[in-house]
């Protein structure tokens, strides 16, 4: 095959997979065109699901598969894809990094649009440095930590990182900017602008998830993403070379690769064009030994060599490729960090003692310890949630739970028959439940309580009881009693005041969400009473163990 073709095949493949990633990202929300047969809607509580395989890239990611296997002892759904990818890596090396990885492609594009350096300085920047070992350190830390019980692979797994950054920061930021423009046009008195606004919004709102969701503290996710992109100014694909734990994992597997870079020393004129174009700092020059574990198979060296001194070919050989250059320090450091981090994580006690009252997990979430062992913090549940209630945590779940999903009822609420998040969780940290299960077991995510000082009727400030109206259970978990309360004029006032029946409350939070007291509502939901936890119960019931 001609050299030119290989580079173009690589570029085409990158474009296709980046496109696929973005399409699946955009599709990770409930569509507007759901048409159910009357026979279906009349007969049962239908479960709305997404038709597209939006978890495909998570299933393809061997780091997600391995970390959830060793940490949560679970084979995730569709792990065959990840297994297949590892097999491919065994034969072809880090083809994933060069041909498929959407984050790698974005780095590649950034470096192509604005090359970090010029001339000799670029050649120098593309030499292997001890910094390349950092990724092995990170990989070992993550995997050892995962075995001991702290699974934070998702924080820097490239697929999780990219999905989280795009879904929670980049898309919402762009969407809200557009929405504000449309709202401004809609408020105008010029009819043409009104129509343009309606039309424009109908066109773009499907891309941004219809409701233009926004996520608490997502600015941090966006900032980190920008920093990671900016690192390409230091050297090309900085992330892939220095930091990516998935790249490190695939690099280790590439030891057995039969696709090898063949170097013809006789033809080489030491022009070093190959090194200048190298994306992985993989030492393509014939005077150096090829670092197959660093090579992302971009085929740039092969493409630029004016003397045809370089070629890629399939060759069986009993001799293995060069060992990945991990360095003893990276290995030992990784072991130490991997053992100590899980111990630090326990300092939070979050998994063992009473958790943060506002740590309300999505319906169907596993008990906290199991949940943390599986959650990849990819943000898919947050992206797909139709009410925008699921947000990333900061400190609520402790260090081990950074960026895991929790429900903020002032942002949204958990819709009574909605079970979408669990159907999408790629590792099963949120189990898939049906609406029937959610209602009948029932699955409680917390309990509501009333703040009588803020409540309008309780404080004598007039009738209200929006909370009771919206309570979705039957009979309602919020019930009313006529009480006489002192009004601001000191005259006794008879109003309906709300009470919560803890046995019926499932913690959905619609009461908190719609309470007219904004910011810190007069009725709030705390995690206590969540059915996934044996400890975090309020009432003495027969089934407590």
Partner 1 sequence: MDLNYPISRRESLKRIAQVSASLAGAALGISPLLSQSSGLASAASKRFVIEGIGAKDDYKVKELTRMVFEAAGGMGQFVSKGDIVAIKPNISWARRPDLAATTNPEVLEAVIELCLDAGAKKVRIADHTIHDARRCFALTGVGTVAKRTGAELIFPRSSLMKRMKLHGHRLDVWPVFVPLVEADKLLNVPVAKVHSVSTLTLGMKNWIGAVGGRRSALHQDIHQSIVDLARFFNPSLTLIDATRIMITNGPSGGSPSDVAAKHTLILSNNQVAADAKAAGLFGYDPGEIGFIRLGQKWGLGTYDPKKLIEQRMIL
**Site residues for partner 1 per CB under 8 A:** 30-38, 41-46, 48, 179, 182-183, 185-187, 197-198, 201, 205, 210-211, 386-387, 415-418, 456, 462-466, 468-476, 480, 496, 514-516
Q: Is the dihedral of CA 217, 220, 221, 226 positive or negative?
A: positive
Pick 252 or 470: Cβ nearer partner 1? 470
Nearer Cβ to partner 1, position 45 or 325? 45
Q: Which is nearer to partner 1, 48 or 259 (CB)?
A: 48
Class of residue 207 by CB neighbours under 10 A (exposed 0-12, middle 13-18, buried 19+): middle
| Angstrom distance (rounded) from CA 505 to CA 496 | 19
Spatial separation of the C-alpha atoms in residues 430 and 442, rounded to whole Å? 16
In the complex with partner 1, the residue whose CB is nearer, 93 or 509, is 509
Residue 385 Cβ, how far from partner 1 at the closest point, in Å?
9
Residue 543: CB minimum distance to partner 1, A: 23
Cα 203 to Cα 25, 172, 472: the distances in Å are 17, 16, 33
User: In the bound complex, what is the minimum distance in angstroms from residue 197's beta carbon to partner 1?
Assistant: 5
Between 187 and 347, name the residue whose CB sits nearer to partner 1: 187
Distance between CA atoms of 47 and 152, rounded to whole angstroms?
Answer: 31
Residue 314: CB minimum distance to partner 1, A: 50
Residues 457, 463: contact at Cβ < 8 Å? yes
The secondary structure of 12-29, three-state, reads HHHHHHHHHHHHHHHHCC
The least distance separating partner 1 from the CB of residue 219, rounded to whole angstroms, comes to 22
**Of 397 and 510, CB closest to partner 1:** 510
Q: How far is the CB of 418 from partner 1 (least distance, A)?
A: 6
CA distance linking residue 104 with residue 250, whole number of Å = 14
Give Cβ neighbours of residue 418 (< 8 Å, ≥ 6 apart).
Answer: 48, 386, 387, 435
Q: How far is the CB of 503 from partner 1 (least distance, A)?
A: 16
How many Cα atoms are found within 13 Å in the side-chain-facing hemisphere of 543?
Answer: 6
Give least dist CB 23 to partner 1, A.
Answer: 19
> Minimal CA–CA distance to 507: which of 483, 527, 532, 534?
527
Q: DSSP of 356-383, one letter per residue? A: PTT--PPTTBPPHHHHHHH-----HHHH
The span from the CA of 429 to the CA of 386, in Å, is: 19
Q: Which alpha helices (H) appear in 28-152, and where do they start and end?
A: 38-43, 56-60, 62-72, 80-92, 95, 102-113, 119-125, 134-148
Q: Which one, 201 or 303, has the nearer CB to partner 1?
A: 201
CB of 413 to partner 1, least distance (A): 9
Q: Which is nearer to partner 1, 158 or 172 (CB)?
A: 172
Among 298, 272, 293, smallest CA distance to 282 is for 293
List of E strands, 143-242: none
Q: Report the residue number, 109 or 207, with the smaller CB distance to partner 1.
A: 207
């Amino acid at each position: 095959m001609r050299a030119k073709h290989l580079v173009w095949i690589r570029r085409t493949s990158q474009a296709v997979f980046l496109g696929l990633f973005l399409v699946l990202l955009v599709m990770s929300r409930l569509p507007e065109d759901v048409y159910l047969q009357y026979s279906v809607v009349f007969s049962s509580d239908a479960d709305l699901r997404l038709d597209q395989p939006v978890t495909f890239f998570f299933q393809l990611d061997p780091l997600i598969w391995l970390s959830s296997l060793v940490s949560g002892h679970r084979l995730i759904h569709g792990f065959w894809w990840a297994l297949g990818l590892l097999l491919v890596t065994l034969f072809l090396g880090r083809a994933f990094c060069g041909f498929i990885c959407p984050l790698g492609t974005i780095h590649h594009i950034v470096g192509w649009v604005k090359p970090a350096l010029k001339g000799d300085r670029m050649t120098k920047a593309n030499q292997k440095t001890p910094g390349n070992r950092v990724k092995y350190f990170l990989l070992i830390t993550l995997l050892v930590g995962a075995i001991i019980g702290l699974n934070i692979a998702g924080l820097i797994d490239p697929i999780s990182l990219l999905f989280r950054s795009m879904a929670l920061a980049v898309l919402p930021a762009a969407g809200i900017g557009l929405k504000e423009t449309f709202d401004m046009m809609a408020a105008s008195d010029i009819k043409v602008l009104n129509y343009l606004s309606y039309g424009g919004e109908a066109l773009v709102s499907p891309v941004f998830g219809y409701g233009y969701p926004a996520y608490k503290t997502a600015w941090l996710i966006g900032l980190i993403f920008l920093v990671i992109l900016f690192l390409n100014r230091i050297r090309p694909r900085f992330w892939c070379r220095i930091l990516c734990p998935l790249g490190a994992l695939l690099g280790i597997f590439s030891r057995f690769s039969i696709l090898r870079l063949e170097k013809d020393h006789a033809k080489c004129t030491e022009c070093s064009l190959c090194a200048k174009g190298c994306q992985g700092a993989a030492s393509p020059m014939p005077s150096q030994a090829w670092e197959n574990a660093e090579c992302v198979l971009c085929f740039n060296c092969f493409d630029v060599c004016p003397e045809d001194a370089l070629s890629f070919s399939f060759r069986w050989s009993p001799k293995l490729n060069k060992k990945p250059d991990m360095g003893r320090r990276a290995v030992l450091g990784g072991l130490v960090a991997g053992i100590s981090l899980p111990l630090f994580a326990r300092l939070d006690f979050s998994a063992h003692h009473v958790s943060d009252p506002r740590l309300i997990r999505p319906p169907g979430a596993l008990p906290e310890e199991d949940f943390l062992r599986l959650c990849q913090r990819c943000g898919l549940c947050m992206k797909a949630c139709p009410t925008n209630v699921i947000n990333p945590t900061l400190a609520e779940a402790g260090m081990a739970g950074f960026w895991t999903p929790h429900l903020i009822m002032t942002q949204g609420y958990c819709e009574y028959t909605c079970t979408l998040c669990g159907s999408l969780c790629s590792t099963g940290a949120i189990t898939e439940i049906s609406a029937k299960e959610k209602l009948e077991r029932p699955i409680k995510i917390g309990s509501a309580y009333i703040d009588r000082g803020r409540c309008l009727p309780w404080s004598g400030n007039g009738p209200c009881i929006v909370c009771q109206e919206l309570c979705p259970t039957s009979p309602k978990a919020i019930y009313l009693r006529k009480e006489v309360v002192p009004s601001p004029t000191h005259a006794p006032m008879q109003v309906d005041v709300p009470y919560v029946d803890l046995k019926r409350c499932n913690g959905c939070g619609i009461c908190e969400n719609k309470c007219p007291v904004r910011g810190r509502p007069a009725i709030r939901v705390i995690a206590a009473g969540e059915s996934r936890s044996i400890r975090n119960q309020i009432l003495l019931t027969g089934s407590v163990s």
